[in-house]
Amino acid sequence: MNLTIISGRTTKDIELKYLPNGGTAVANFTLAVDRDYSKEKKAEMESQNKPTVDFINVVAFGKTAEFVANYLQKGKRVAVQGRIETGSYTNKDGHKVYTTTINANNVEIIDWPDKQEVPEGFTPADNQDVPF
């Protein structure tokens, strides 16, 4: 089973591209995902100049890519559900580079700052509606 769910903040505005010969929409973006450290451990890691965040590459296709490009900007909190894909290529220096990307099936915006920004047909969750 290859199923991944992560949440984090987008690191830059999303750029939408289209594949040749079919025009499928493609959006590549990166999420900054906090590591699960206690407040004390995070402060310790930061004082030692060690990372406390992972930067995860994500790709979305089709309608999901168009949604991402239309509604995400740098710093938006989102949850991504998809599968991990690995690959490799040889760079111009002849070194093999290994890649890991999440192929997104579903992208959910966690915080909508303004209800007028919510696209038609979507309703932001209200904490009063959550049964637990």
Spatial separation of the C-alpha atoms in residues 49 and 6, rounded to whole Å: 24
Instruction: Quote the domain boundaries for residue 100.
Output: 4-120
Spatial separation of the C-alpha atoms in residues 109 and 120, rounded to whole Å: 14
Q: Flag whether 129 is in a domain.
A: no
Q: How far is CA 62 from the centre of its chain?
A: 16
Burial (CB < 10 A; 0-12, 13-18, 19+), residue 104, is buried
Q: Flag whether 63 is in a domain.
A: yes
pLDDT of 61 reads 95
| Chain segment 76-130, per-residue pLDDT in tens | 999 999 999 999 999 999 999 999 999 999 999 987 665 555 566 555 555 555 5
* pLDDT, the chain, mean: 86
pLDDT of 126 reads 58
Q: What is the CATH number of the domain that holds 57?
A: 2.40.50.140
The token pair at 44 is 């310790």
Percent of the chain exceeding pLDDT 70 equals: 84
- Regarding pTM above 0.85, the answer is no
